[in-house]
Amino acid sequence: MSATAELNRRLPGGRYIGGVLQRIGLDGRGLVIAIPTIWLLLFFLIPFLVVAKISLSEAAIARPPYLPIWEWSDGFLNINLNFGNYLFLLDDPLYVAAYIESVRIAAISTVVTLLIGYPMAYLIARSSPDRRNILLMLVVLPFWTSFLLRVYAWIGFLKANGIINNFLISLGILNEPLVMLQTDFAVYVGIVYTYLPFMILPLYANLVKLDEAYLEASADLGARPATTFFTITLPLSANGIIAGCMLVFIPAVGEFVIPALLGGPDTLMIGRVLWDEFFSNRDWPIASAVAIVMLFVLVIPIMLLRKVQAVDEGAS
Amino acid sequence: MKRRSRFLLFMGVFGFVFLYAPILSLVIFSFNESKLVTVWGGFSTKWYGELFRDPQILEAAWISAKIAFLSASIAVVIGTIGSFVLIRFARFRSKSLLSMMITAPLVMPEVIIGLSLLLLFVALQGLIGWPGGRGMLTIIIAHSTFGAAYAAVVIQSRLVDMDLSIEEAAQDLGAKPVRVFFDVTLPVIAPALMSAWLLAFTLSLDDLVIASFVSGPGASTLPMVIFSKVRLGVSPDVNALATIIIGLVSLGIIVAALQMSRSKRSSAN
């Protein structure tokens, strides 16, 4: 029984409408599928095509600030594709440097996040079930409070007369304050801090499934804890590591708020460059080209993440 | 073995201090008399008073709350239908497309989502004259879309865990699919819908980047106002605001946890 049949029964003209709907393949089931599909097509996928289109147009002082790619004149369709924006990106060392910087900063932060997050995830996975839930909640709780305000909190910690410097000076360890705010260091701290839960959760989900019999067998056979860890635990948690790393790395590459608030004027990250092109320079075509190139940079990490997630789904 | 667990314990303590110290400092210094955010000058609640006399912040908070409420509700509807279709329906033509589109917003950098939606709205405006300028409506659409992705993750995991036999029993007793969904599936997954709604609500309340792109004049959300304040330097009334938000979130989590343990107990009886 479908909604179409229901429609036929209820409305006098319904039989006709139902028939038409059915002929184009839209019965109740199709309608249900269509709602989320159409919404996401319209507000997620098609916007990317619009970005791609505008990245090929020329900037202009107009509303909206770009020239159309195609127009009719004298009965002919004129198509003006302009690859100049991409050539400009490749030609200007600023943009190339910003891409490299973003990937470098995101990669270093990801490694640090892994080094802090792995022991925490391991500890939680090896705790008793009651304590496990409390610890997991403590990991997720900061995620629920404002991201912007948590980044803001670090300004108070890192600035010249901030909490860390005041503390170290009062202990007599430092004579004058360390410069931490508005450096790459502050950006690393900000990224590691905000994305730590994204690292811990997939690692935990992976480590909690690890069968302890393997670890016992290894210990019984005389392997030292470190050997057991590197030959058994670490390889078995590879999928969790990849998933966690990609969940940190991908958004970190395009991060805007953290470099804007904690980074210095010379911390070039591509999310910030895109923001400035759009809001300060009002150059929409260049901003679009920056976004498209960023997507290409992220294609491999995104595919890696999907692959690991598909493996996990197949296993469970 | 002993040495390794001591290392683990140290890392655990370090990690949780790292996660909570900044939040605690926000709360402590919100009660600071001094205008210098990081130097203690005595206990005071004056920044809270200042906050509630700031019409810009109050208006932005109200706008943000309205946007978050509506977009979370839309996100849960889309997320529920999308999850249900992906988990319960046998193969259909656009299945992998839908699955891709519903998870991709989770990892897409916010600047890209913001820019792409803004350009779509501008293009639509030129083509069909809708959405008629940028403001609350465009922010709600944007937030519903990425909220739906997060909602879908929560709801999908609940649908996968759910016992299929009760749906089958209802079907065997002659209930139509629509009826099975509303009378059986929906009540069972209701707690997941609630947490999905809360998640989408918080994310919307928190978003700066996407809202900045798709917003227009007159629709400044709370994060947009905070960001412009914070860019000019630290200000104690932002600490007060942070403390209020942290308090509300903690309260919400405690209520949810109590609710959950109560329902667990009643189902055990």
Q: What is the pLDDT of residues B85-127, one digit of tens each?
A: 998 887 777 888 898 888 888 888 899 999 999 999 998 888 8
- The nearest CA of chain B is from the CA of A69 a distance in Å of 13
Q: What are the tokens at B116? A: 């792409």
Give the best-scoring range by mean pLDDT among A96-105, A149-158, B247-256: A96-105
In the structure, what pLDDT confidence band is assigned to residue A63 with cuts at 50, 70 and 90? low
Q: What are the tokens at B177? A: 């699919």
d(CA B95, CA B89): 9
* Domain presence at residue B178: yes
Instruction: With a cut of 90, say whether residue B165 has pLDDT above it.
Output: no
- The nearest CA of chain A is from the CA of B212 a distance in Å of 10
Contact call for A254 and B249, based on CB within 8 A: no
Q: Which residue(s) pair with A71 in the sheet?
A: A78
Q: Does B61 touch chain A (CB under 8 A)?
A: no
Q: What is the mean pLDDT of residues B134-156?
A: 92
Q: Which residue(s) pair with A79 in the sheet?
A: A70
Task: Give the B window 230-259 contacts with A, CB below 8 Å.
Answer: 230-231, 234, 238, 241-242, 245-246, 249-250, 252-253, 257
Q: What is the pLDDT of residues A239-276, one digit of tens each?
A: 999 999 999 999 999 999 999 999 988 888 999 999 99
Nearest to B145 among A44, A117, A193 (CB): A44
- The nearest CA of chain B is from the CA of A111 a distance in Å of 15
Q: Does B153 touch chain A (CB under 8 A)?
A: no
Task: Give the B window 124-143 contacts with A, CB below 8 Å.
Answer: 126, 141-142
Burial level of A264, CB count in 10 A (0-12/13-18/19+)? Answer: middle
d(CA A20, CA A26): 9
Chain A interface disruption, residue of B10, B36, B112, most A CBs within 10 A: B112
Nearest to B4 among A144, A225, A306 (CB): A225
Choose between B49 and A61: higher pLDDT. Answer: B49
d(CA B182, CA B167): 11
- Evaluate whether B29 touches B39 at the Cβ level (below 8 Å): no
Task: Identify which of B9, B110, B147 has the alpha carbon closest to the alpha carbon of residue A298.
Answer: B110
In the structure, what pLDDT confidence band is assigned to residue A77 with cuts at 50, 70 and 90? low
Q: What is the pLDDT of residues B34-45, one digit of tens each?
A: 776 667 777 888
Q: What is the mean pLDDT of residues B198-209?
A: 91
What CATH number is attached to the domain comprising B127?
A: 1.10.3720.10
In the structure, what pLDDT confidence band is assigned to residue B168 with cuts at 50, 70 and 90? confident
Q: What are the tokens at A114? A: 């892994």
Give the best-scoring range by mean pLDDT among A181-185, B65-69, B134-138, B234-238: B65-69
d(CA B242, CA B28): 11
Residue ranges making up the domain that contains B127: 54-233
- Evaluate whether B9 touches A123 at the Cβ level (below 8 Å): yes
Q: Which residues of B touch A305 (CB under 8 A)?
A: 107
Q: What are the tokens at B105? A: 């917003």
Q: What is the pLDDT of residues A30-42, one digit of tens each?
A: 888 888 999 999 9
Q: Lowest-pLDDT range, A9-18, A128-137, A305-314?
A: A9-18
CATH fold of A84-315 reads MetI-like fold (1.10.3720)
Q: Which residues of B touch A47 (CB under 8 A)?
A: 116-117, 119-120
Q: Which residues of A touch B224 (CB under 8 A)?
A: none
- How high is the mean pLDDT of chain B? 86
CATH 1.10.3720.10 domain locations along chain A: 84-315
Task: Identify which of B205, B210, B266, B215 has the alpha carbon closest to the alpha carbon of residue B241.
Answer: B205
Q: What is the mean pLDDT of residues B187-192?
A: 88
Q: Does B196 touch chain A (CB under 8 A)?
A: no
User: Domain count of chain B?
Assistant: 1
As a three-state string, the secondary structure of A148-179 is HHHHHHHHHHHCCCCHHHHHHHHCCCCCCCCC
Instruction: With a cut of 50, say whether residue A1 has pLDDT above it.
Output: no
- The nearest CA of chain B is from the CA of A107 a distance in Å of 15
Q: What is the mean pLDDT of residues A113-139?
A: 90
* Domain presence at residue B96: yes
Write the single-letter amino acid at A97.
Answer: A
Q: Would you give the DSSP letter of residue A79? A: E
Contact call for A163 and B25, based on CB within 8 A: yes
pLDDT of residue B89: 83
Q: What percent of chain B has pLDDT over 70?
A: 94
In the structure, what pLDDT confidence band is assigned to residue A26 with cuts at 50, 70 and 90? low
Instruction: With a cut of 80, say whether residue A10 has pLDDT above it.
Output: no
Q: Does A15 touch chain B (CB under 8 A)?
A: no
Contact call for B116 and A148, based on CB within 8 A: no
B/e letters for B133-152, b = 16+ CB within 10 Å, e = fewer, are ebbbbbbbbbbbbbbbbbbb
Q: What percent of chain B has pLDDT over 90?
A: 32
pLDDT of residue A62: 67
Contact call for B257 and A137, based on CB within 8 A: yes
